[in-house]
Amino acid sequence: MEPEDFRKYGHELIDWIADYWEHIDDLPIVPDVAPGDIRAALPERAPEEPEPFSEIISDLDEIVVPGLTQWQSPGWFAFFPGNTSLPAVLGEAVTAALGQQGMMWSTSPVATELENVVVDWFVDLLGLPDGWKTTGRGGGVIQPSASDSTHTALVVARERAARRGPAIRMVAYTSEQAHSSVEKGANLAGFGRIALVPVDGSHAMRPEALRRMIVEDIEAGLIPAVVTSAVGTTGTAAVDPVRLIGELAREYEMWHHVDAAYAGSAMICPEFQKDQDGLELVDSYTFNPHKWLLVGVDCSMFYVADRAPLIDAMSIVPPYLRNEASESGEVIDYRDWHVALGRRFRALKVWFVLRSYGAEGIRAMIREHVRLANELAQRLEADDRFELVTPVSYALVCFRHVTGDEATDALAAVINQSGHSHLTASKLDDRSFIRVSIGQTQTEQRHVDRLWDLIDRAAAPAR
């Protein structure tokens, strides 16, 4: 493609994207496709000859959009948000065009230093300990997902505990309500035992249960190596007692990782920062700006209080990667901060978004989502057909129908068939409940009102 064609089709696609964003709410959130339908619309073999770019653009309308699950819809209340924004889209386009591979400072000084700067900015924005800045002993890095970040933490924890015995005897603790990535990461890292700690009535980890399990494991000849706390669990956005868990981690020489994948974004509003009290007793921390900070998938930030054990676990320097800047010790080489060697220039879109909205603009969005969640919860509580499963946490509303699973599941199904609203039906203590997670970029009062109207119309009577 010549630059002149790129100008022509690029302008067309920018307008196509703007049109798409203006009309997302008109599209059904769940596509009307069965497994194999999209594949059947595509040729069996790759094209041998070039095709006109105009055909590619028309296939966006014919094949791609009808096969999307509309994550960016204002009626998207499923899972946690994965919101993006138009400045992030422009940032991604520039990242792609610059074609940087920032494995080391020397292979892209700006990709490295801009990433240093934005992760340090978030230390202040989220109220993280000052020593976690790249200018201190610790530092942050952008990884693709919280699963990657948590897996990294678990590998480093394993290496730190290695002098105490083999991985097969090590235990990784987390709560019964932890995200599946903790268990997956611990499996991948080769831990011998993954211990799920019971939770209390608010679905937060019980520190005294953790202590009991640690003591029993030690008596059984096992090695308590790492505990992962959640600030905002996946099921109900419950908050584990970070400080108490941190004290146990210190007492038993365990690595302490915090998974704040969702709720970390809310910490940009100082009123939520009390939920992560005790961060000075934390070794690593991850949160996903790609969930609720307008930057788009993928962007997970991973922080360590001390970068030495991370780099010790990850660093291998063959001759073709040796260079003056790295050997000076004055730069950060992000190749040593995660599994991957090659890496995209992800910090650019974060920079675009922070500058386009300002921290105050992002706080306003989060506070509005939280307000909408509380308002919806009040409506549910005031109606005798519904009960909240937990108090609203951040912008997550968890409720069920008072008559039980059947009415709850049926209600979720009706809403998800509406086309305009989408939420997650899940289970807690073997009982069905509905998660309404409010956090998409274009979600406003009227979209939550529309959801409430549907809930109100579709729900079975209380008895």
Question: What gap in Å lies between CA 153 and CA 301, rounded to an integer?
Answer: 12
In the chain, the amino acid numbered 19 is D
Residue 148: strand pairing partners: none
* Smallest separation (angstroms) from its own copies to the CB of 320: 4
Question: What gap in Å lies between CA 83 and CA 85, rounded to an integer?
Answer: 7
Considering only 203, 344, 385, 401, the residue that binds its own copies (CB under 8 A) is 344
Among residues 31 and 309, whose Cβ is nearest to its own copies? 31
Structure tokens at 339: 């599994």
* Smallest separation (angstroms) from its own copies to the CB of 406: 17
190 binds its own copies (CB under 8 A): yes
396 SS3 class: strand
Among residues 146 and 195, whose Cβ is nearest to its own copies? 146
Considering only 75, 116, 210, 459, the residue that binds its own copies (CB under 8 A) is 116
221 binds its own copies (CB under 8 A): no
**Residues 386-425, interacting with its own copies (CB under 8 A):** 424
185 binds its own copies (CB under 8 A): yes
Considering only 27, 28, 33, 368, the residue that binds its own copies (CB under 8 A) is 33
Considering only 181, 228, 276, 421, the residue that binds its own copies (CB under 8 A) is 181
Considering only 163, 328, 457, 463, the residue that binds its own copies (CB under 8 A) is 328
In the chain, the amino acid numbered 8 is K
Question: What gap in Å lies between CA 97 and CA 316, rounded to an integer?
Answer: 29
Among residues 276 and 440, whose Cβ is nearest to its own copies? 440
**Residues 294-323, interacting with its own copies (CB under 8 A):** 296-298, 313-314, 316-321
Among residues 42 and 382, whose Cβ is nearest to its own copies? 42
Contact region for its own copies (CB under 8 A) — 43-51, 241-249, 269-277, 400-408? 43-51
Question: What gap in Å lies between CA 355 and CA 313, rounded to an integer?
Answer: 35
Among residues 47 and 221, whose Cβ is nearest to its own copies? 47
> Residue with structure tokens 């974004």?
265
Question: What gap in Å lies between CA 305 and CA 134, rounded to an integer?
Answer: 10
Find out whether 425 and 78 touch, Cβ atoms under 8 Å. no
203 binds its own copies (CB under 8 A): no
9 SS3 class: helix
Question: What gap in Å lies between CA 270 and CA 139, rounded to an integer?
Answer: 21
Question: What gap in Å lies between CA 363 and CA 51, rounded to an integer?
Answer: 45
**Residues 52-91, interacting with its own copies (CB under 8 A):** 53, 55-56, 60, 63-64, 66-69, 71-72, 79, 82-91
Considering only 26, 61, 62, 97, the residue that binds its own copies (CB under 8 A) is 97
Considering only 74, 75, 235, 439, the residue that binds its own copies (CB under 8 A) is 235
* Smallest separation (angstroms) from its own copies to the CB of 208: 25
In the chain, the amino acid numbered 430 is D
* Smallest separation (angstroms) from its own copies to the CB of 250: 25
Question: What gap in Å lies between CA 367 and CA 357, rounded to an integer?
Answer: 14
**Residues 363-382, interacting with its own copies (CB under 8 A):** none
220 binds its own copies (CB under 8 A): no
Question: What gap in Å lies between CA 379 and CA 448, rounded to an integer?
Answer: 11
Question: What gap in Å lies between CA 350 and CA 296, rounded to an integer?
Answer: 9
Q: Which residues contact 324 (CB under 8 A, 6 or more apart)?
A: 106
Contact region for its own copies (CB under 8 A) — 16-24, 203-211, 369-377, 455-463? 16-24
131 binds its own copies (CB under 8 A): no
Among residues 25 and 246, whose Cβ is nearest to its own copies? 25
**Residues 269-288, interacting with its own copies (CB under 8 A):** 288
Concatenate the DSSP letters of all residues of 82-126 into one string: ----HHHHHHHHHHHHHT---SSGGG-HHHHHHHHHHHHHHHHHT
Among residues 87 and 246, whose Cβ is nearest to its own copies? 87
Question: What gap in Å lies between CA 437 and CA 393, rounded to an integer?
Answer: 10
* Smallest separation (angstroms) from its own copies to the CB of 262: 12
**Residues 141-180, interacting with its own copies (CB under 8 A):** 144-148, 151, 155, 158, 166-168, 179-180
401 SS3 class: strand
Find out whether 295 and 301 touch, Cβ atoms under 8 Å. no
76 SS3 class: strand
Considering only 27, 28, 127, 184, the residue that binds its own copies (CB under 8 A) is 184
Among residues 199 and 244, whose Cβ is nearest to its own copies? 199
Cis, peptide link before residue 456, omega less than 30° from 0: no
447 binds its own copies (CB under 8 A): no
Q: Any idea of the CA torsion for 31, 36, 40, 42, to the nearest 10 degrees?
A: 70
Q: Give how many residues touch its own copies by CB under 8 A.
A: 145
